[in-house]
Amino acid sequence: MWFITAVFITSAGLLQSTVMQHNLFTDKLACKSYLTENKDIVTEDINKAISNYLNNIDPKIVYQIQWIGCINWPTPQPKPKPKLKI
């Protein structure tokens, strides 16, 4: 699965990230294409999410987005069952 994510730094000196979880993509090309076509909407949504999150912590904290892009989050694979030795 591919997600659109943003990395930002706060005035408190913390480097943090946020993920747009309502947008899931099956491959990198689809994710990058969506991001390219909807950059303004994505940036606006990320700004709202970060602002709401930081206002709950401390309204005085400001932030600066450092990067917006696509990352791959591998889907968990089932663990193999151990073979029983008798």
Q: Are the C-beta atoms of 4 and 31 separated by less than 8 Å?
A: yes
The residue ranges of every structural domain in the chain are 2-72
Q: State the pTM of this model.
A: 0.75
d(CA 46, CA 67): 11
Q: Cα 79–85–86 angle (5° rounding)?
A: 145
List of the chain residues with pLDDT < 50: none
pLDDT at 86: 65
pLDDT at 83: 74
d(CA 41, CA 44): 5
**Torsion sign across C-alpha atoms 37, 40, 45, 51:** positive
Q: Are the C-beta atoms of 19 and 4 separated by less than 8 Å?
A: yes
pLDDT at 73: 83
